[in-house]
A and B are shown apart, each in its own frame.
Chain A
Amino acid sequence: MSRQSNRSTDSKKMNSELFTLTYGALVTQLCKDYENDEEVNKQLDKMGYNIGVRLIEDFLARSSIGRCQDFRETADVIAKVAFKMYLGITPSVTNWSPAGDEFSLILENNPLADFVELPDNHNTLIYSNLLCGVLRGALEMVQMAVDVKFAQDTLRGDNITEIRMKFIKRIEENLPAGEE
């Protein structure tokens, strides 16, 4: 954490502009590379997944957070620690399903989508789909299979940006047969 504290708030803010603009350049490039929005969404998710499986190590090392007891705790850690650490925002956790296996993250302002306007011919593009991949990849590395998708997005005219997360199953660690 020490390497964060000696940076001024101003330079951190600039960093986020670099990140936002770079992400924008990436999405633009993907839209050139692929013919339709679905392909772009898929690719963003895949890239996010690759980031997530590595980011989790960075996160666990820096946050010194141990294993979560249940999905509610996982939700809290994601919203209050992880989002805060990497994007500087704290989404709110709402809309729990009765079984407690599904919840929504509401993003007040999406840092990925600063300065962004979607042109009319890209109305099925899920601009920030990278985030879904990151969440899925990171959770998979801590033995949780989770389904993540954007339920609402302000870029596409909704009032809020909502990421819906659904717990699928616990991934059993692959022990060799006969060992416990």
Chain B
Amino acid sequence: MADESLFEFLHMEMVSHVFTEQQSSKGEMDNKDRAVCISVLEAMGFRVGQGLIERLTRDSPSFKDELDVMKFVCKDFWTKVFRRQVDNLRTNHQGTYVLQDNKFSLLTQLSNGKEYLDQAAKYLAFSCGVVRGALSNLGLESVVTAEVSVMPSCKFQVVVQKL
């Protein structure tokens, strides 16, 4: 068992490392540099998500369809990784899903309102990657983005890519 606060501190250090690394090599940061940082964090999350889902689905039966996979992610996966279930899952039945978490664990320590909203993206990139990595190993290629209007509530949008 590892403690959750340890993970939270580690996550913060990761975010700040990736950003200072990019900044020191360039001097000033523009939007493009920020996008690079976000994608580095996302890629780290992706690998973690892949590993986690392998461990988690070891004993579970196979899934019927896409919705079944999404339900698993919202319930079991979310509980194991973010320590609560997704509060609301919505879909247009065409491959787009919106997962709403009203108390997202990595945001609860940051703010309870609109303060620091501009910083939220950095602290969600890793988690987006985790979700994308998990779905990827369950056979769903997707694009995962996160959107925050008031912390600590957060909406993850998953768009499944049709092959």
Contact = CB atoms under 8 A, between A and B. Distances in A.
Contacts of A167: none
A16 B48 contact: no
B15 to A, nearest CB: 11
Contacts, number: 94
Given A18-B7, A22-B11, A9 B48 contact: no
Contacts of B47: 21, 25, 28
B131 to A, nearest CB: 13
A85 B3 contact: yes
Given A20-B2, A55-B9, A88-B1, A29 B18 contact: yes
Given A12-B1, A21-B51, A50-B13, A55 B6 contact: yes
B7 A22 contact: yes
B7 A9 contact: no
Contact of B13 (A9, A12, A51): A51
A120 interface: no
Given A11-B80, A29-B40, A22 B10 contact: yes
Interface string A4-23: 00010101111111111111
Contacts of B9: 51, 54-55
Contacts of B21: 33
A107 to B, nearest CB: 14
B98 interface: no
Interface in B1-59: 1-7, 9-11, 13-14, 16-18, 21, 40, 44-45, 47-48, 51-52, 55-56
B2 A55 contact: no
A18 B17 contact: no
Interface of A: 7, 9, 11-26, 28-30, 33, 43, 47, 50-51, 54-55, 58, 85-88, 111, 115, 130
- Which of A16, A18, A19, A50 gathers the greatest number of chain B CB atoms within 10 Å? A18
B1, B9, B47, B79 — most chain A CB neighbours (10 Å) = B1
Contacts of A29: 14, 18, 40, 44
Contact of A58 (B5, B14, B80): B5
Contacts of B16: 50
Nearest to B83: A11
A91 to B, nearest CB: 15
A61 B1 CA distance: 20
Nearest to A14: B80
A55 B1 contact: no
B51 A23 contact: no
Contacts of A11: 79-80, 83
A32 B52 CA distance: 22
A18 B1 contact: no
B134 to A, nearest CB: 11
B81 interface: yes
A9 B1 contact: yes
A115 to B, nearest CB: 8
A14 B82 CA distance: 10
A22 B48 contact: yes
